[in-house]
Structure 1
Amino acid sequence: MVIPNHHQTAQDRALIAQRFDRAQDYDGAAMVQRVTGRALMERIRVAQDGCEVRRILEFGCGTGFFTSLLRAIWPEAEIVATDLSAAMLRRAAERGLHNVTFIRMDAADPDGSAEVTGAFDLICGNLAVQWVEPPEQALAALAKRLAPGGLLAVSTLAGDSFHEWRAAHDMSDCIPAIRRYPSRDQLRNGWPCGRLATQWSFETLVERTNGGMAFLRGLKQIGATEPDARNISANLSPRLLRNVVRAFDRTGAVLTWDLAFGLFRAPPRAGVFVTGTDTGVGKTFVSACLTQAWDALYWKPLQTGLADEAGDTPEVIRLAKVGADRIVPPAMTFLAPLSPEAAAEKEGRSADVSALRLPMEQSERPLVVEGAGGLDVPVTKDTMMIDLAERFGLPVVLVARSGLGTLNHTLLSLEALRRRGMVVAGVVLNGSPNAGNRDAIERHGKVRVLAEIPAFSGVTSEIVADVARGFPAWSAIAGQAQ
């Protein structure tokens, strides 16, 4: 996320805290922080619609503006508001907000605060991430404090921020000391990865300043004058600074704020959603292997084709040798061997998507959820299988053929999942091993191939047991994003 990789020292963090401690005029000057805070809060409100929010952790709370927005939306939630600056915390506490605990915590080392304990349904920070370098480690530590299904939400600055001020330095042949921020692409492709479903969105705010000196005074008023440690030698002489200000003013004295908003969702329970690049690719066999390998529960929420066969659930029971205590019955069944939408229409019915709720029994035990067909199989006229997988919020295991034609189908499926910010636990290749295809899928799909399963003339429980031993342990799947 940070360019280039830079690790702040304790002295760096102490200097930042001192700057914010001295920011007496913060509330009057932090107008962009207010605009950004409201935009972040609206995204959180939409994302958390229908979700219970009992405990909230805010990092970088400043003087409490964003804390007050949280209090207004969730009046009864317990809020733990934290900041690096003790002076900021004192000002925030003066707002007199109900059921808010103010604690000094360094977002660069959230594990260093013994007072912040337990799991949180919502962890958030408004324009605080950019002060932590590198942010990946801190954000990953914060993510570990999420309750199942919890949301980590941040706003930060992206790479095009203040490009006019940088251009004024270029015109004056000097190096700007202000911080550099990751580009939008770096944010999309960077942290976090693994078990957190990710959504980035962006807005551009253009501010017409009262000139370069006013811009610098504004930074000082909000305590944001700590220079980038990578450009510490770029401190300007008064003459060079005057040149920069004149160059900035000549070009219109406007500033771009490139605002980035990240929403990161923890899975609601242990488990995976198994889907395929097409029908008949081996999802049920792989689901049986995973159920066996992880001592998991199994659920086929939508079962079609019962006019011709007993269905996938009895097959998994037979192949994985599992008892009824590890089987969640299908939520809906249909006779015709068609998509759920078409099979339901044959019977004069429609699939009730609202009834498809992820089972939460034994939530720490893996649940293998097997989809019907591929990602773009219709469930209803308005819902595709990928919508259902996204709603369940579990990491996805994609089953694909190993031979000719698999690259296009597999990479397109991976792209569709990543475009929605969904987590991909890995790919399983069915058929004769093909080293070239495996390598291409891992490189171009940026994904791990969990297993390559050779073709079998007949499938037995002994074969499933043998193949299951070749899959990664559940702890490796669950821990890949820790």
Structure 2
Amino acid sequence: MTVIVVSGTGTEIGKTVVTAAVAAVATAAGRSVAVLKPAQTGVGPHEAGDADEVLRLSGAASGTELARFPEPLAPATAARRAGMAPVGPAEVAEAARKLAAEHDLVLVEGAGGLLVRFDGEGGTLADAARLLGAPVLVVTPAGLGTLNNTALTAEALRARGIEQLGVVVGSWPDAPDLAARCNLTDLPEAAAAPLLGAVPEGAGALGVEDFRAAAATWLAPALGGTWDAVAFTAAARA
């Protein structure tokens, strides 16, 4: 895979840290990794954005933002309120293709969920993935409510003929409750796609070297790691 689109089932669920983990594992394997953030919202002109955070944690080769809007809103809304031009799916796809010509792997990190609007025409991250013919890695929360949102995201992908690479739990709690433990079994069924990892809660606060050293243990072999879904699920439910 040259391009992977990373989407969440919502916002603030660990998408950036998962993107960083995938980038760290690929970089450690000797691959040149580029991170593309089509629309960064809620961050000031001189503040670090999601692409910057992925680069810091992973050591990836490059990071690119196509647009930055000051208010923490959906990209289309944030662009409109700022009086700025939005970023459409075609621009995202073009930028990803250019990066793919120069890197072994491009990770496109969306904003919030799959169908959050990027522009006034209703363009979404799903549209960009379809234009690219790229698979989507879905990041989801651990706890109650995640099955419905994961199933809805999977259904939206299937309806558009977009491959779902799998599901990663974006923030696995230190003390998972009953719902979280049961969801490890139920998520693959809800998504009709494999469970490909679980990133520990607070992983983004680790030191850079610790993060890079541990990243492979959070991700399944399909993402270059060593994480075993069967063993992890059994241990969590024991």
| TM-score bracket relative to the smaller structure | 0.7 to 0.9
1:352–1:455 distance in 2 versus 1, CA, 3 Å: closer
Distance 1:384 1:371 in 2: 9
Match of 2:136 among 375, 396, 415: 396
* Alignment correspondent of 1:415: 155
Larger Rg: 1
TM-score normalised over the length of structure 2: 0.78
Cα displacement (A) at 1:282:
0.7
Query: Residue by residue, what CA displacement relative to the aligned partner does 1:344-403 show, whole Å, maximum 9, x if unpaired?
Result: 112212314243312334547121110111112111122123222322321111000011
How many Å separate the matches in 2 of 1:416 and 1:271? 20
| Aligned mates of 2:71, 2:119 — CA distance in 1 | 15
2:120 maps to 1:378: no
For 1:313 and 1:290, how far apart are their aligned partners in 2?
A: 13
Match of 1:314 in 2: 52
User: 2:98 matched to which residue of 1?
Assistant: 360
- 2:17 corresponds to which of 266, 285, 296: 285
**Are 1:294 and 2:35 matched, yes or no?**
no
Q: Which is worse superposed, 466-475 or 433-442?
A: 466-475
Deviations 1:308-355 (A, max 9, x none): 842112211211133xxx214212222221111111112212314243
Q: Are 2:39 and 2:75, in contact at CA under 8 Å, matched by a contact in 1? A: yes
Structure 2 equivalent of residue 445 of structure 1: 191
CA distance in 2 between partners of 1:365 and 1:418 (Å): 27
TM-score with structure 1 setting the length:
0.40
- Secondary structure (helix, strand or coil) at the match of 2:147 reads helix
Which structure shows the higher helix fraction? Answer: 2
Q: Deviations over 1:462-481 (max 9, x none)?
A: 4432442122346779xxxx
In structure 1, distance between residues paired with 2:37 and 2:145: 27
The residue matched to 2:111 in structure 1 has which SS? strand
* Amino acid of the structure 2 residue aligned with 1:278: G
Aligned AA (1:426)? G
Q: What amino acid does structure 1 have at the position aligned with 2:19?
A: S
Corresponding residue of 1:468: 215
Opposite residue 284 of structure 1, the aligned amino acid is T
Unmatched 5+ residue regions in structure 2?
28-32, 226-238
Q: 1:443 to 1:347 in 2, by over 3 A?
A: closer
**In 2, Cα distance between equivalents of 1:475 and 1:304:** 27
The CA deviation string for residues 151-201 of structure 1, in whole angstroms up to 9 with x for no partner, is xxxxxxxxxxxxxxxxxxxxxxxxxxxxxxxxxxxxxxxxxxxxxxxxxxx
Establish whether residue 431 from structure 1 lines up as the match of residue 178 from structure 2.
no
Separation in structure 1 between the aligned mates of residue 42 and residue 77 of structure 2, nearest angstrom: 11
| Number of aligned residue pairs | 206
Amino acid at match of 1:431: W
Counterparts of 2:203 and 2:163, CA distance in 1: 33
Equivalent in the alignment of 2:66? 331
The Cα shift of 1:439 comes to 1.1
Q: Which residue of 1 aligns with 2:146?
A: 406
Structure 1 residue runs of 5 or longer lacking an equivalent are 1-268, 478-482
1:428-455 deviation per Cα after TM superposition (whole angstroms, max 9, x unaligned) = 0122253310211112322111111221
Residue identity matched to 2:184? R
Question: Which position in structure 2 is the counterpart of 1:192?
Answer: none
**Corresponding letter in the other structure for 2:54:** V
Is the Cα–Cα contact under 8 Å of residues 302 and 330 in structure 1 kept in the other structure?
yes
Percent sequence identity over matched residues?
A: 33
Show the 5 A alignment for 1:71-220: none
Instruction: Specify the alignment match of 1:118 in structure 2.
Output: none
| 1:274–1:283 CA contact under 8 A, matched in 2 | yes
Q: Is the 8 A contact 1:407 1:441 kept in 2?
A: yes
Q: Does 1:344 align with 2:96?
A: no
Q: How far does residue 457 in structure 1 lie from its aligned partner after superposition?
A: 7.5
Structure with the larger RCO, 1 or 2 (CA within 8 Å, 6+ apart): 2
> What is the root-mean-square deviation in Å for CA atoms of aligned residues?
2.3
One-letter amino acid of the counterpart of residue 318, structure 1: R
How far did residue 291 of structure 1 move? 0.4
What residue identity is the alignment partner of 1:386? A
What is the alpha-carbon distance in structure 2 between the residues aligned to residue 286 and residue 349 of structure 1? 29
